[in-house]
A = this chain, B = another copy of it.
């Protein structure tokens, strides 16, 4: 007897197929001569309807134990379904109940708020919405690897624990093996890190970019896809303390090549998810945010507009809209400005490049004008900023000066500077937060609902 996943049965099953399914009871309806139950096995949003005939052996006993949440194995034969919206249903011959679920099972039929579901994160994946979210999350993650592997990029695991504190100052989580009850001190009354596991202060990484640059300088094209951390004390719907980042880095590449890659990347990933999870995406469009399919479509089918920051400022100054925040060369673009450009003006994704040097990171390549850096932000309608990247500064002297003006001691990043001392090359890359991507794709309002076990201030359950 073949065991089949419900997704496959609903797609390809035919009347008279004999098979077994395994899953959890969603609902049960008892009628006179027979009963129905809906079974879900997580392979898709839809349940398979199972018909239980009174003639079945042990009917009464079995039926009693088939409450919502019970785990079952059903053997039977597919029959054409008279019910609307389903091609086939399973006529049960034998039902094995592995585990019953009594009335304390938290996911009874009524609707639950996402907030409540976070308190039962070990159950919420069985709900329609969270189930769809994590299937889409997987499809999206698989598409990321597929995209880069097809193009010869190597997946590189950059370190999670780092001694570099230069990038995320103030937002770092420390890693230690010291006894916090009794931290050893030196004679000078500073922490005696010589007794710590790494012999010096250690932190959780905020980005793998600098190490990805190292690897790109040997392999050409690489990407990271790993967890990163921020100790931001902000309990918002868009921040996590622990999230996954994707950071491609390309040697012998300038900002043009970087923009091309970002555009191809987003189009590939959105397209791939639509192909692999059409039912889940349709569900999000109907139940969560009715713009998600249009947004995906817009990203997939448009050539991204490319404007410089300076051009963007001019366009914003001419805008008929009233903005809350000032529009002025030298100030960063606010969300309202980005939305105007992508949603109202161009009505498609926009890549804004060449931002003022003062508002961007030290590693971005200084433009020929000396006033801008070769940065890029990808903005999408209904989403806002989704990708940030830049061509990197490959010139040793300029990079050293930029580090100093950012208060970074060049000696601490001697190895990063070494890449510019010997055989330096133009190179570029970008980064995007994976959970943000999944959030945008699904329309989910709170980022805590697109990662299985969210970590945030005072939030460390499961």
* B residues near A120, Cβ cutoff 8 Å: 415
* Contact status A423-B101, CB under 8 Å: yes
Query: How far, in Å, is A406 (CB) from chain B's closest CB?
Result: 20
Query: How far, in Å, is A371 (CB) from chain B's closest CB?
Result: 25
| Choice from B98, B123, B155, B156 contacting A426 with Cβ under 8 Å | B98
* Contact status A101-B415, CB under 8 Å: no
For residue A304, CB closer than 8 A to chain B, the reply is no
Measured in the bound complex, the distance between the Cα atoms of B100 and A425 in whole Å is 10
* Contact status A199-B451, CB under 8 Å: no
Query: How far, in Å, is A68 (CB) from chain B's closest CB?
Result: 9
Whether A159 touches B104, Cβ cut-off 8 Å, given contacts A145-B142, A214-B122, is no
| Choice from B101, B121, B420 contacting A422 with Cβ under 8 Å | B101
Closest to A197 in B: B231
Residues 27-84 (chain A) with a chain B CB within 8 angstroms: 41-43, 69-71, 73
* B residues near A41, Cβ cutoff 8 Å: 220
Whether A162 touches B122, Cβ cut-off 8 Å, given contacts A43-B219, A452-B215, is no
| Choice from B24, B121, B218, B418 contacting A42 with Cβ under 8 Å | B218
For residue A116, CB closer than 8 A to chain B, the reply is no
* Contact status B71-A452, CB under 8 Å: no
Measured in the bound complex, the distance between the Cα atoms of B229 and A171 in whole Å is 22
Residue among A42, A141, A158, A204 with max Cβ neighbours from chain B (10 Å): A42
Contact with B along A70-108 (1 / 0, CB 8 A): 110100000000000000000000000011111011100
Stretch at the interface among A176-184, A278-286, A343-351: A176-184
* B residues near A177, Cβ cutoff 8 Å: 173-174, 231
Whether A154 touches B173, Cβ cut-off 8 Å, given contacts A100-B423, A215-B125, A462-B214, is no
Q: How many A residues touch the partner, as a band?
A: 35 or more
Measured in the bound complex, the distance between the Cα atoms of B419 and A106 in whole Å is 11
* B residues near A69, Cβ cutoff 8 Å: 422-423
Closest to A141 in B: B155
Measured in the bound complex, the distance between the Cα atoms of B98 and A120 in whole Å is 56
Measured in the bound complex, the distance between the Cα atoms of B100 and A176 in whole Å is 41
For residue A15, CB closer than 8 A to chain B, the reply is no
Whether A415 touches B122, Cβ cut-off 8 Å, given contacts A181-B191, A227-B227, is yes
For residue A460, CB closer than 8 A to chain B, the reply is yes
For residue A252, CB closer than 8 A to chain B, the reply is yes
Query: How far, in Å, is A224 (CB) from chain B's closest CB?
Result: 10
* Contact status A98-B135, CB under 8 Å: no
Whether A163 touches B418, Cβ cut-off 8 Å, given contacts A22-B251, A425-B99, is no
Closest to A424 in B: B99
For residue A394, CB closer than 8 A to chain B, the reply is yes
Measured in the bound complex, the distance between the Cα atoms of B183 and A141 in whole Å is 39
Measured in the bound complex, the distance between the Cα atoms of B462 and A211 in whole Å is 8
* B residues near A163, Cβ cutoff 8 Å: 460-461
Query: How far, in Å, is A204 (CB) from chain B's closest CB?
Result: 7
Closest to A462 in B: B415
Measured in the bound complex, the distance between the Cα atoms of B163 and A453 in whole Å is 12
| Choice from B126, B157, B241, B420 contacting A452 with Cβ under 8 Å | B157
Closest to A458 in B: B199
* Contact status B173-A175, CB under 8 Å: yes
Query: How far, in Å, is A422 (CB) from chain B's closest CB?
Result: 4
Contact with B along A249-262 (1 / 0, CB 8 A): 00110000000000
Residue among A7, A419, A425 with max Cβ neighbours from chain B (10 Å): A425
Measured in the bound complex, the distance between the Cα atoms of B457 and A25 in whole Å is 49
29 residue pairs A–B, Cβ–Cβ below 8 Å: A22-B252, A43-B220, A70-B422, A98-B394, A98-B425, A98-B426, A101-B423, A102-B422, A123-B218, A134-B218, A134-B219, A138-B154, A138-B155, A142-B155, A159-B453, A163-B461, A174-B176, A174-B178, A176-B180, A178-B180, A180-B183, A181-B191, A183-B183, A197-B233, A211-B452, A214-B452, A214-B462, A227-B227, A415-B461
